[in-house]
Amino acid sequence: MSTTIPPFDPANVQGDILAGLPKKVQHYLLFQIDDNVQAFRQRLKLLIPLITTTTQVMDDRSKIAANKKAAQEQGKPAPLLKISGVNISFSHTGLVKLGITDDIGDSAFTAGQLADAQNLGDPGSGTPFVPNWIPAFKNPIHGVVIISGDSELTVTATQAIVNGIFNIGAHNATMHEVLTIKGQVRPGAEKGHEHFGFLDGISQPAVQDVDTKPNPGQETVGQGVILCGRDHDVVAGTTTPVARPPWALDGSFLAFRYLFQLVPEFDTFLKNNPIKSTGLTPEQGSELLGARLVGRWKSGAPIDLFPLQDNPAAGTDPSQNNNFRYDFPDDPKTQDRCPFAAHTRKTNPRADLEDLGFPTENRRIIRRGVQFGPEVTPEEAKSGKTKFGRGLIFAAYQSNIVNGFQFIQHSWANTVGFPIQKPVQPGFDPIIGQQTDLAIRTLSGTDPNNQSATLSLPAEWVVPKGGEYFFSPSIPALRSKFAL
């Protein structure tokens, strides 16, 4: 990377990374580039004006906020604004297909996620190891076009424009669709909640000079934790900048995962294993167990602040819902408030590491993504068995997959001794912790009254069915390096 780095300009960065494309509906068009690479690159040039930048997303978000406010003042529900966004990212095999062979400085990206599946603990078997993924992800995927908008109609119309640009399906096609995964925000009161029912997307790092008014408790990270080539894009545990080609500046790596969720099975487990405490009904005991597995109540309220009872108002209040560090006097050694292995504590351990002198800045990721699949049907709820596929299209940005997603999944969620230096073994992250042979997972501390007891989890309720690592280039790089 050159030593004179131009000043940061949000107009150079694709919009999903730092601002998040606004969405009710989102399609992930996974594609392969066809053999006429020159033609693809010419067509890519036509796509660039359609790509939504961070500046445009910020503008869209201001319009959405103003629309909401105006409707509130008139005492009416806000009509949805017709908004659509497009971003594009490439896998390593995609870069090679385009003839871009410089070492980009991320070994996980270069190897691809299929080669990483065993290390991530994805269920599978054989030598060489083959994960239990759907076939589409076992063949090369060159890239993904992310298309989002206010409705299925808007997104389908925008996808038709993208298809037209690349002549998809025509005799002169320059790419073809491997698979389009269609996600949508859940309906009604479940809006913003993932399929197990918990409010999601609450804790994100603030990015230096981008998110200038962080909420209480929200940590600010250097731009280089998310964007390649910027300040703090360093080799983990050092201050040495990662060596990257100049065109990687202001790009970001996207860890993409197609994660199915077994919701009726999860609900049945909670129902059958309520925490038994004086004064709790079985329903409250089940609710408390769910909160202790995730680290937050379904409302979003963190259990480190509200260990015994939900506080729905705090759950959605940005001045409260991140204002905790697992540093109450008893937090480091007891699980009174929050199990050591709760999903949020495993994936962002805050004081558990920072107060031991291990910074976590370079482990932070920005999570986007969206839910897919229908709501649980009464029949599924009754039988406790999933019949229709549903889950999370997990999409997380970072400047370094080895430091970020890969580390969180492998070395934190799947590692039973993490967080370190605890009096009892924490165990697996009950939401995403996994092992390839699907052996029984356990964790401690779910029962606040008997914290060394372990709970055995009968099934992995999150089932990975595919994924890939992508690179989301800056707009200038798309113009000068990728397109013709």
Q: Torsion-angle region of residue 58: left (phi > 0), alpha (psi -120 to 50) or beta?
A: alpha
In the complex, the smallest distance separating the C-beta of residue 403 from ligand HEM, rounded to whole angstroms, is 12
CB 424 within 8 A of CB 445: yes
| Among the residue ranges 58-66, 75-83, 91-99, 341-349, the one whose residues contact ligand HEM (CB under 6 A) | 341-349
Kindly report whether the peptide bond that precedes residue 419 is cis, defined as omega within 30 degrees of 0.
yes
| Among the residue ranges 8-16, 41-49, 262-270, 344-352, the one whose residues contact ligand HEM (CB under 6 A) | 344-352
**Angle, helix 37-47 to helix 152-165, in steps of 10 degrees:** 140
**Angle, helix 282-294 to helix 263-272, in steps of 10 degrees:** 120
- The answer to whether residue 431 forms part of the interface with ligand HEM (CB under 6 A) is yes
In the complex, the smallest distance separating the C-beta of residue 367 from ligand HEM, rounded to whole angstroms, is 6
- The answer to whether residue 294 forms part of the interface with ligand HEM (CB under 6 A) is yes
In the complex, the smallest distance separating the C-beta of residue 236 from ligand HEM, rounded to whole angstroms, is 16
Binding mask 149-188 for ligand HEM (x = CB under 6 A): ----------------------------------------
For 194-212, give one letter per residue: b (16+ CB within 10 A) or e. Answer: bbbbbbbebbbbbbbebbe
**Which residue number, 55 or 323, has a Cβ lying nearer to ligand HEM?**
323
In the complex, the smallest distance separating the C-beta of residue 38 from ligand HEM, rounded to whole angstroms, is 37
Q: Which of residues 259-288 bind ligand HEM (CB under 6 A)?
A: 259, 261
What 3-state class would DSSP assign to 60?
A: helix
- The answer to whether residue 228 forms part of the interface with ligand HEM (CB under 6 A) is no
Q: Which of 144, 131, 135 is nearest to 91 (CA)?
A: 144
Q: Torsion-angle region of residue 83: left (phi > 0), alpha (psi -120 to 50) or beta?
A: beta
**Which residue number, 166 or 297, has a Cβ lying nearer to ligand HEM?**
297
What 3-state class would DSSP assign to 269?
A: helix
User: Which residues does 456 contact at the CB level (< 8 Å), separation at least 6?
Assistant: 440, 441, 442
- The answer to whether residue 343 forms part of the interface with ligand HEM (CB under 6 A) is yes
**Which residue number, 326 or 471, has a Cβ lying nearer to ligand HEM?**
326
- Give the DSSP letter of residue 193: B
- The answer to whether residue 409 forms part of the interface with ligand HEM (CB under 6 A) is yes
- The answer to whether residue 393 forms part of the interface with ligand HEM (CB under 6 A) is no
Residues making contact with ligand HEM (CB under 6 A)? 194, 196, 198, 200-203, 257, 259, 261, 294, 296, 343-344, 347-348, 365, 391-392, 394, 405, 408-409, 413, 431-432, 462
